[in-house]
Structure 1
Amino acid sequence: MSPIRLSDLAFTLEAVIDEAFGQKAVWVVAETSDIKNYPDRGYCFLTLVERESGKETVAKLDACIWRRNYHTINEFQQETGVAFARNIQLLLLVSVGFSPVYGLRLEILKIDPSYTLGNLERERQAVLDSLVTNRPDLVWREADQYITANQLLPRPTVMQRLALITAPNSDGWRDFRHELAQNPFGYDFVVDEFLTQVQGQGAERAICGRLDQIRTSGVAYDAVVIVRGGGSQLDFGSFDTYLMGETVAGFNIPILAGIGHERNVSITDLLCHQSVKTPTKAAAFLIEHNRQFEESCLLLRDRLRVVAHEALLSAREQLDRETERLRFVSQNFLRDRHTDLTEKAVTLRHLDPSNVLRRGYALLLRNGRILTQTTDVKSGEILQVQMRDGMITTKVVEL
């Protein structure tokens, strides 16, 4: 068999591939790898791979995104919140091309965001279903909502002693601390920091390790706050794991999550005591929670002032009524007593011996003592007779 030129083989391959795929586009599912992105130039080179469950590569092809379709990257990121990066499984619309010089290459025409979102949601749902099945004591469903032991913990009236889990010197750390420090009400917070990585491989175990430290610290924290700044959906993968969900759902202190992802709700968001999305909002939530307590105290103070004022007015009115009643009763009593005294004075005047003598009566006396019975008088003794106008002496002649 006579050999052929390489170019002849290449041109033959080009013709065959062009006949089979020319001007056609096909949807393929593949995982990204070896991305070389040039946003300033408007194109991207990458490798698409397919792996078996054991991570063995079974297919690998080079691919590119040219300027005319480069917008699909930004559209995908905006739609999904997932950064266009390596190791993401995507549904891609591609055209197949072969160049005798550059070889076989796929041109990516479009990225389907719904496929990626669906995959993420399926993975998240599988984790939630496992938690409900394996840990019904910590996580259960009621009316299409997930209820957890952490959510049912009583919320402290004032949240002031806090355990903060975040990455050191991160935007989330700065935003949270700044918002707390600058609160307009002058509230003081005691914050113990448990710094750790919050994204990347091993982040979930690092976060759960910090939660175990808090649990065994013996400090009576009012709440645990987990914060991190913004990022892509993949950056938040540590908050969507089984370990993280189980630890958060069963934690013995209320957990407040401000993990900075507005687009989707993570498993940690669903199962923690309160999710507020961003570090700044986490701080604002704590400030507002304490403000509500202060306002309730101020309302009670105002109510106490009103009630006390009304009670004093009522007591004063009651005192005035009782004073008037006492005055009326005492006046009647004194008037009655005055009448009694007047009547007794008249009686006394009538019974006054001088008045009795004026009416023609006389008093019989012995040595100045009045005699009232005949048995007290002896025959022949000398007695005195008191009359109205004077005293006479008499002798008892006969009894």
Structure 2
Amino acid sequence: MSDSSIPTKYYSLSKVAASLQSVIRREYSQYYWIKAEIARLNFYPKSGHCYPDLVEKKSGKILAQMRAIIWSRDYFRINAEFVKKTGNALADGMEILFKAKLEFNPTHGFSLMIVDISAEFVLGKMALEKKQNLLRLKQEGLFYRNKELKFPLLPQRIAIISVETSKGFHDFTNIIENNSRGYKFFWMLFPALLQGDGAVQSIQQQLEQIRGLKQHFDLVAIIRGGGGDVGLSCYDHYDLARMVAEFELPIISGIGHSTNETLVEMVAHYNPITPTDLAYFLQQKFDNIAVVVEEMNQKIVDSSKKSLLEKRSYLDELPRRIQRQTLGSISEQKYHIERHSGRLQHKTLMLLQIQESNIERYWEITKRLIKQKLDVAPNDLSDKSRRLQRASKAILDNQYSGMNFFEGKIELMKPENLLKKGYSLTLFKGKPIKDVKSLKLGDIIQTRLNKGELESSITKIGK
């Protein structure tokens, strides 16, 4: 660039900045209510100052972006009021309506000086979103789905979604574990974030864990302490409410003391509000069964007593009934016996008369037969007598001949006749010796011969 091309009139940066500062002070001298999203809060605890980065988006595209300042004296006042009304501190990603004044500093540039933030705007925006989500759940037929599940008769196995450090969790477990009636509960903690941006995803992840173990549980309990509406805003999230509505197990909620019921509480099977109420609700289920069992037990006892009294009365009456029935039966049988006895007596007399008639007839026949036999008998007797005499003589002769034969044999077998033939008879203690086993060495034995006797001492015994 040549020297002739250098502008003769130009402005210094400080003059431009001062001019801008003057225009902004003059044209934007008042405070304005502005809507924007906090991209980053940029709070510095050491100084207490806050420098939010603010954006406006449409369809994910940034339309405008500015830097803001909240001095420490204003930040602590604004945040305390915001927490009091919403239950949550200012945070990244939150859409806010704030009161600010436009300022320009030649050194630090343009900024929005925030002096107030509307908590009501945040709550109203959340209420509108909640209303739209509620209508969507009803239109999709999901609002009553979890409520329509059959609640377990004895809700004993509980999957708890909470934080171990939560007071509500400790209140709940303390009541169910230390109940005065000794009811036994089994519970398992599935820890999750209970508020903030990460709460929705954290609770959904734990519900998925429980879904894989659903056969081990009777129900799911979502337990949280108290909090404001913003602190509970995650429970108005459509995706979380839908998952609760479609879950396969009954879900009961004890999210806190808020009077503004969240979508999750609305679609849950039962919502007793506080963790304490939730614990007593489960205990009441056991009480209801205990009452029924006690009533049934009393009915059984009463029925048994009534039955025993009836049986006792029956047993007391039974001997008399048996006696009456026995006497009646005896009288009836006696009547039948007497009636049949008369018939039997009549038939017996008839039979005796018939038999007597038969005997007389047979006797006449027998007498005729005997007479006929007696007429023939003399001749038969003479003939049979002669034949009997001959047979008897033959038998006697035969017997006599046999006796003579055996007499001769007996004579030969006499000891003295055997001794005459050279045999000897050996005796021990006067008795014939039949076996050497009855003798021992040194025994004295006698030997009898035809003429004389010998006495010997045993010196050897052979087998």
Give the TM-score, by structure 2 length. 0.56
Supply the distance in 1 between the matched residues of 2:121 and 2:75 (Cα, whole angstroms): 19
Shift of 1:176: 3.5
What is the DSSP-based 3-state SS (H/G/I as helix, E as strand, rest coil) of the residue aligned with 2:152? coil
Cα distance, 1:34–1:213 mapped onto 2, change above 3 Å? closer
* Kept in 2: contact 1:52–1:58 (CA 8 A): no
| Residue in structure 2 matching 1:124, options 124, 130, 136 | 130
Q: Please show how residues 247-396 of structure 1 align to structure 2 within 5 Å.
A: 247-260=243-256, 262=258, 264-295=260-291, 297-298=293-294
| Residue in structure 2 matching 1:159, options 155, 162, 166 | 155
Shift of 1:189: 0.3
Counterpart of 1:63? 69
Shift of 1:266: 2.1
Shift of 1:167: 4.5
Structure 1: unaligned runs, 5 residues or longer: 140-147, 327-399
Cα distance, 1:295–1:109 mapped onto 2, change above 3 Å? farther
Counterpart of 2:431? none
User: Do structure 1's residue 29 and structure 2's residue 35 form an aligned pair?
Assistant: yes
Deviations 1:244-267 (A, max 9, x none): 222221323211112346264221
* Kept in 2: contact 1:14–1:99 (CA 8 A): yes
* Kept in 1: contact 2:254–2:278 (CA 8 A): yes
| Residue in structure 2 matching 1:17, options 2, 21, 24 | 24
The Cα RMSD (Å) is 3.8
Structure 2: unaligned runs, 5 residues or longer: 1-7, 321-463
* Kept in 2: contact 1:51–1:59 (CA 8 A): no
Cα distance, 1:243–1:34 mapped onto 2, change above 3 Å? closer
Q: Please show how residues 237-252 of structure 1 align to structure 2 within 5 Å.
A: 237-252=233-248
Shift of 1:94: 1.4
Counterpart of 1:331? none
Shift of 1:65: 4.2
Shift of 1:164: 2.2
What is the DSSP-based 3-state SS (H/G/I as helix, E as strand, rest coil) of the residue aligned with 1:219? helix
* Kept in 1: contact 2:227–2:258 (CA 8 A): no
| Residue in structure 1 matching 2:53, options 32, 35, 47 | 47
Supply the distance in 1 between the matched residues of 2:102 and 2:198 (Cα, whole angstroms): 38
* Kept in 1: contact 2:229–2:258 (CA 8 A): no
Shift of 1:188: 1.0
Supply the distance in 1 between the matched residues of 2:211 and 2:75 (Cα, whole angstroms): 51
Deviations 1:118-177 (A, max 9, x none): 1111212222222222x22x32xxxxxxxx121122323321122223346655544433
| Residue in structure 1 matching 2:10, options 3, 10, 21 | 3
* Kept in 2: contact 1:93–1:109 (CA 8 A): yes
Shift of 1:286: 1.8
Counterpart of 2:354? none
Cα distance, 1:2–1:85 mapped onto 2, change above 3 Å? same
Give the TM-score, by structure 1 length. 0.64
Counterpart of 1:178? 174
The structure with the largest strand share of the pair is 1
Counterpart of 2:145? 149
Shift of 1:268: 0.9
User: Do structure 1's residue 189 and structure 2's residue 195 form an aligned pair?
Assistant: no
Cα distance, 1:287–1:268 mapped onto 2, change above 3 Å? same
What is the DSSP-based 3-state SS (H/G/I as helix, E as strand, rest coil) of the residue aligned with 1:86? coil
Supply the distance in 2 between the matched residues of 1:168 and 1:190 (Cα, whole angstroms): 16
Cα distance, 1:242–1:254 mapped onto 2, change above 3 Å? same
Shift of 1:74: 1.5
Shift of 1:213: 4.7
Deviations 1:47-79 (A, max 9, x none): 222222214352222221451574232222221
Supply the distance in 2 between the matched residues of 1:159 and 1:173 (Cα, whole angstroms): 18
* Kept in 2: contact 1:83–1:233 (CA 8 A): no
* Kept in 2: contact 1:94–1:108 (CA 8 A): yes
